[in-house]
Amino acid sequence: MTKVKDVIKEIEAVAPVYYQDEWDNSGLQVGFLEDEVKGVLACLDITEAIVDEAIQKGCSMIVSHHPLLFHALKQVSDSTYQQRCVTKSIKAGIAIYSAHTSLDNAPGGVNYKIAELLKLKNLHWLEPKEGMDAGSGLIGELNEPLEAEAFLKQLKDTFKIESLRHSEPTKPIHKVALCGGAGAFLMQTALEKGADAFITGEIHYHDYFDNDGMLLAELGHYQSEQFTIDLLAETIKCVPVTKTTINTNPILYK
């Protein structure tokens, strides 16, 4: 019999919670370690529709990238979507676990998945964590330099982006820095390490004025991390895993 703790053990063999950033809340969100797990639903975000999907598909555990809970709940009722997800999950006997920056910062984790999709080589952490093989963001190299327009087209095609925000291209791209999600905090580090391009999910407006010729490309938070669902499914082997069919991106494009 597979238990919640068995699934967690497999996830944390790849992404232990001590890899996470101090502000984060990776780990068990809802449920009990000794409960039986007959199936896992892998997803990026926890929404009420995701919990309903888990119920419909007979999954007794949801494993997400983004945590449902960042802050303590002052009540458990139905006044927020987080509360409704918690109460619905408990009633249905569904456990929820989130591997957020613990998986972002892991070797072979979220940022490695992005680098793999871009076929980058010679990978190094942008901001290593002291005393461990983990860190925020990556920097690597393309097999050969690409003209900026060709690189931008590759990003659009690879990540299925409807509207790609980017700075004005100024040079060919060879050295690429990246961070899934909200990675703008690493932009200056990417500059200091000589990146020709920095790609992430979200970039602040004023950062575009201070890029010193480095190409900035803003994929969208969801788009940059969408393949994390595949990564979670590949990590869990002790029980059947279903990948969500729901696009939880709350941002729409015209």
Task: Give the residue numbers spanning the domain of 154.
Answer: 104-225
**Are 131 and 83 contained in the same domain?**
no
Residue at 252 is within a domain: no
* Extended strands (E) in 82-151: 95-98, 121-128, 135-146
User: What is the tens place of the pLDDT at every residue in 157-181?
Assistant: 999 999 999 999 999 999 999 999 9
**Are 21 and 112 contained in the same domain?**
no
Q: Rounded to an integer, what distance in angstroms lies between the CA atom of residue 57 and that of residue 40?
A: 9
Residue with tokens 């529709």: 49
**Are 86 and 130 contained in the same domain?**
no
Q: Rounded to an integer, what distance in angstroms lies between the CA atom of residue 19 and that of residue 207?
A: 27
Give the residue ranges of the chain where pLDDT is below 70: none
User: What is the tens place of the pLDDT at every residue in 8-58?
Assistant: 999 999 999 999 999 999 999 999 999 999 999 999 999 999 999 999 999
Map residue 238 onto helix, strand or coil. Answer: coil
Residue-level pLDDT at 160: 95
Residue with tokens 């199936």: 39
Q: Calculate the dihedral angle through the C-alpha atoms of 91, 41, 218, 117, rounding to the nearest 10 degrees.
A: 170
Map residue 157 onto helix, strand or coil. Answer: helix
Total number of domains constituting the chain: 2
Beta-bridged to residue 108, according to DSSP, are none
